[in-house]
Structures are given as C-alpha cells and as structure tokens.
Amino acid sequence: MSKLRFYLKIYGKIIVQDIKSKMSYRSDFIISIIGILLTDASELLAFYITFLNFPSVCGWTYHEMLFLYGFSLIALTPLQCLFDNNWNLRHYVYDGDFIKYCFRPINIFFYFISEDFDTKGIGQFFVGLGTLIYAWTKLRLSVNFISIALLVVALISASLFMIAIMNIAAATCFYLTNSGYVIGTMSKFRDYAKYPVTIFSTFFRLIFTFIIPIAFIAYYPSLVVLRPEKIPILTWLSPVYGIFFFYISYKVWMLGASKYSGTGS
C-alpha cells in the first residue's frame, strides 16, 4: 500500500509539471482541443447523415449507435490522456534515448508512460460524455445507482482493452526494426470500436472478439446498460478479461524493455 502511495505521489508531480509545460504554449493547447472537437463533431455529423437514409443498421437505431459512440470516446480517454507516450516509444528506442529509463530506481513502464499527458483527451472526454448523456436520455434508460455503477465498471473494462492493444503494439519496437506501422494499424481499429460487432461478418466478429478484441471497447461492456434484457456471457467476463489482457500487455512491454541494450553506438 505504501508503494502505491509512493507511485501516485510521483505520478501526480510528473503530470502537473507536464501540464504546466503544455499550458505555457496556450495557442497550441487551444488549437489541439479545438481540433479534437472538430474531428469528433464531423464523425457525429456522419452518423446523422447516415441515419437520415437508414432508420437502423442491423437492428441498431440512431440513438443506440450514438450511445456506443459516446461510450467509446469516454473509454478511450485514459488511453489518449495517460498512455499517449507509447507513440514516442519507437523513437526513444531507435535513437538510443530509452536507455535513460533503465537507470531510474522506479518501474520503467510507469516512468516512461507518466512522462506525457495528452490534453487533447480532455476535449474527447466531454464530447463523449455529452453524446452519451444525450443518447441515454433519448433511449429513456433508467438512471439509478446500479446502472451508473455498472456503467463505470464497463467503462473501466473497456479502457483496459484499448490500452492493452496499444501497449503491445508499441512494444513491438523492442522486437522489430520497423514497427511504426504496427501501432499505426492498431490505432485505426479504434474507429471500428464505435460500431456494434454484430454488423460485421462472422469472420471479423471472431477477430474483433478474440484476436484484436476491439468489441470489448464499446459493444460488449455497453450492453450491460444498453440492452440489459439480453446480456451475453462475454459482457460479464469483460472486467476479468480486460484486467488479464492489460496484465499480458504489461508483461510483453516489460519483457521487451528488459532486452533493450541501447543502440550499440
């Protein structure tokens, strides 16, 4: 417990300093927030235009799809804000700068990840929250302690999956010379997470459930609130599966870091 408090204290100090450094460039901060808001707004507009012509997609209504969209944005916020430094990992490894993390008396993964806080995720969170609340209201879903508690657990579970996917994708730079395409490709799958897995063919359902589990980022976890009358077993397994998958990604990341020996120059 004391070790946890120690890391939380360090993490708080690192994050505060990083945010201060970003806030010193206020124009860049404001532009980045506006940029993510416009990106999300354009996707919402695409949703609206699509449903002007189709009342539903494979049995999913406009407001149900909006619910999944908002849910996915909130679930992806921890990845965007707290784990964005994974994008820089390959540069540190290839340039040899990653060696500095090997000499600190704290966990390497923690130290590396905590160095960057992406403020763009803040705008993403509020767009997702607003969309989720709007869809929730239109769908007339019940609001009580149990539904809110289930929603929070579902969101945490969903976040763990995408973080785990990106941890493994980033860690490939320890094993592959040109790994940039891996993390880029995995990032693209976030777009598919905003849709119900039932709209895909059986082949892709299996891939998105058991190989690249993006179906757990929004679809399966959200069913506990969105469609409580027919919840599949995978929804109830999401928290356990999410923790396990995150742990595996952490071990893969740490194994790669343990094999790192610099550039040799």
pLDDT in tens, 119-131: 778 888 999 999 9
Residue 160: name the closest of 89, 214, 118 by CA.
Answer: 214
Phi/psi of residue 40, each to 5°?
Answer: -65, -35
Tokens standing for residue 162: 């995408």
CA distance 111 to 101: 7
pLDDT in tens, 136-178: 999 999 889 999 999 999 999 999 999 999 999 999 999 887 7
Residue 79 has a pLDDT of 93
pLDDT in tens, 194-210: 889 988 999 999 999 99
Note the residue count of the chain. 265
Residue 159 has a pLDDT of 95
CA distance 122 to 163: 17
Q: What is the pTM of this model?
A: 0.88
Contact assessment for residue 69 and residue 131, using Cβ atoms and an 8 Å cutoff: yes
